[in-house]
């Protein structure tokens, strides 16, 4: 069964709730619950376990994905700085309800010692950990889609990780410098954790759910840069062997669902406990801003067509390094991101094949091919 606790929200409310954790902010989906009129809602917190993809993805199982934030409300992500989110077990214990009167330093509105510890599992608040040092970490991810129905695991990129969370209510996430601006309708962001298998007995250990993962909200990037995000890959378990970790942009961890999982583990970790995926070094995540999410930028010199730009913007080589296209080099582009020479050497033919010859700085001679929108394109790279 879930490591959970039952408690009273407040005497004046006289409502009991089951405690897990979600990230609360004004740009989130499911404010005031799936009904839209309940300040004492824990709908975003309801755990998801062994559900089919179409039910757990975007927290569709209870309709949270159908309750967008108010028009004009966004979670703000300041590139190169940090954002503070409220990790709470119920909206009542966040600043979004009752003027924040029921908040405390902790996710459930109560007060505890900073050294809060339980040899099996902390159940008040229900943190799914024995202590802060063992908390599995939380992740903030972004998709450059404004339409929630177009967000997929393949375009939702982890941009920040907070080790040793969830623990206290207020949690800070460092945002990578250079993160590009969102489209006019904003981006979609999400916050997630995978609860630690906090009990050592295989008979009594937790049924771990993908809790805390909701379509956390519409977000906007402030102080944006002009870097390009790569396509995220599924993380892997790599504890004690950093060379086996996935480098570059990564997906969130999707585990213990009926379908749609992107990681599988078995056996014991180095401490002798059952392996449990986490947002930390065990699965290749660094603490703080994920600065390895960006890919190289290709600038085209001279006039180019929209079709050519679209094709190049979709290009990724076999190592996952991407290329994006622009008709000119911005004046503030660092020298390290500039290529020495780029030139279109031919045009589209009737069979929709395009050959582009260009010279790059410090790139080995290679030939790559890719397919995008039924269009085959060959790129010849020369030193």
Mean pLDDT of residues grouped by 10 in the chain (383 residues)? Answer: 34 40 92 94 86 91 92 96 95 96 95 90 82 90 94 95 95 96 94 64 33 68 91 96 95 92 94 92 98 70 41 37 40 47 31 32 28 28 24
SS3 158: strand
pLDDT for res 18: 40
Distance CA 319, CA 20 (A): 39
- Residue 349, classified by CB atoms within 10 Å of its CB into exposed (0-12), middle (13-18) or buried (19+), is exposed
> 317 and 266 in one domain?
no
> 309 and 245 in one domain?
no
Strands (E) in the chain, as ranges, are 6-8, 16-18, 22-24, 75-78, 82-88, 138-143, 156-162, 170-174, 187-192, 214-222, 228-229, 288-289, 294-295, 298-299, 325-326, 354-359, 366-372, 375-382
Residue 256's alpha-carbon distances to 37, 159, 205, 207, 328, in angstroms, are 32, 23, 14, 8, 47
pLDDT for res 46: 84
SS3 334: coil
pLDDT for res 160: 98
> 285 and 301 in one domain?
no
pLDDT for res 24: 93
> Any idea how long the chain is?
383
pLDDT for res 4: 33
> 196 and 328 in one domain?
no
Of the candidates 335, 356, 339, 338, the residue with the CA atom closest to the CA atom of residue 347 = 356
Task: Among 256, 272, 290, identify where a domain stops.
Answer: 290
Q: What is the DSSP letter of 181?
A: P
Query: 170 Cβ partners below 8 Å, 6+ apart?
Result: 84, 85, 86, 87, 105
> 277 and 308 in one domain?
no
Place of tokens 């039924």: 374
> 88 and 116 in one domain?
yes
Q: Return the structure tokens found at 297.
A: 């930028």
Quote the pTM value.
0.75
How many domains would you assign to the chain? 2
pLDDT for res 226: 85
> 325 and 248 in one domain?
no
Judge contact between 217 and 172, C-beta under 8 A: no
> 356 and 284 in one domain?
no
Dmax of the chain from CA atoms?
A: 74
Question: What letters, b where the CB count within 10 A reaches 16 and e where it falls short, cover 107-142?
Answer: bbbeebeeebeeeebbbbbbbbbbebebbbbbbbbb
pLDDT tens digits along 10-52: 333 433 334 478 899 999 999 999 999 999 999 988 888 889 9
> 37 and 116 in one domain?
yes
* Secondary element (H or E) of residue 101: none
pLDDT for res 332: 57
For residue 1, count other CB atoms closer than 10 A to its CB: 7
Distance CA 169, CA 94 (A): 8
Q: Which residue range forms the structural domain that includes residue 322? A: 296-382
Task: Among 265, 290, 315, identify where a domain stops.
Answer: 290
pLDDT tens digits along 57-94: 988 989 999 999 999 999 999 999 999 999 999 999 99
> 211 and 240 in one domain?
yes
> 353 and 211 in one domain?
no
Q: Return the structure tokens found at 153.
A: 């695991």
> 310 and 196 in one domain?
no
Distance CA 27, CA 99 (A): 17
- Residue 184, classified by CB atoms within 10 Å of its CB into exposed (0-12), middle (13-18) or buried (19+), is exposed
Distance CA 340, CA 100 (A): 55
Task: Among 290, 317, 334, identify where a domain stops.
Answer: 290
Query: 334 Cβ partners below 8 Å, 6+ apart?
Result: none
């Amino acid at each position: 069964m879930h490591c959970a606790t039952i408690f009273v929200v407040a005497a004046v409310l006289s409502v009991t709730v089951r405690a897990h954790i979600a990230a609360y902010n004004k740009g989130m989906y499911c404010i005031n619950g799936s009904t839209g009129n309940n300040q004492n809602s824990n709908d975003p917190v309801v755990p998801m376990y062994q559900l089919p993809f179409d039910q757990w993805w975007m927290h569709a199982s209870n309709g949270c994905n159908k309750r967008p934030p108010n028009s004009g409300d966004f979670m703000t992500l300041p590139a190169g700085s940090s954002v503070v989110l409220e990790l709470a077990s119920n909206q009542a214990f966040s600043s979004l309800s009752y003027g924040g009167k029921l908040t405390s330093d902790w996710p459930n509105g109560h007060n505890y010692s900073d050294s809060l510890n339980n040899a099996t599992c902390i159940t008040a608040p229900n943190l799914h950990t024995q202590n802060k040092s063992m908390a599995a970490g939380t992740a903030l991810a972004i998709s450059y889609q404004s339409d929630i129905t177009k967000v997929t695991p393949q375009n939702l990129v982890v941009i920040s990780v907070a080790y040793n969370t969830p623990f206290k209510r207020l949690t800070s996430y460092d945002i990578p410098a250079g993160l590009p601006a969102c489209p006019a309708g904003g981006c979609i962001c999400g916050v997630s954790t995978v609860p630690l298998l906090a009990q050592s007995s295989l008979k009594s250990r937790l049924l771990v759910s993908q809790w805390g993962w909701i379509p956390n909200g519409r977000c906007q990037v402030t102080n944006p840069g002009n870097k390009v995000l790569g396509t995220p890959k599924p993380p892997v378990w790599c504890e004690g062997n950093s060379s086996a970790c996935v480098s570059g942009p990564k997906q969130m961890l999707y585990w213990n669902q009926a379908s749609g999982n992107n990681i599988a583990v078995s056996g014991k970790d180095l401490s002798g406990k059952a392996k449990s995926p986490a947002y930390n070094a065990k699965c290749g995540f660094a603490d703080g801003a994920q600065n390895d999410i960006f890919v190289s930028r290709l600038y085209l010199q001279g006039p180019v067509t929209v079709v050519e730009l679209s094709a190049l913007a979709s290009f990724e080589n076999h190592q996952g390094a991407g290329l994006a296209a622009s008709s000119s080099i911005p004046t503030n582009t660092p020298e390290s991101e500039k290529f020495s020479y780029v030139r279109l050497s031919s045009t589209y033919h009737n069979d929709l094949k395009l050959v582009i010859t260009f010279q790059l700085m410090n790139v080995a001679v290679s030939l790559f091919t890719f397919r995008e929108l039924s269009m085959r394109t060959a790129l010849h790279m020369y030193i």
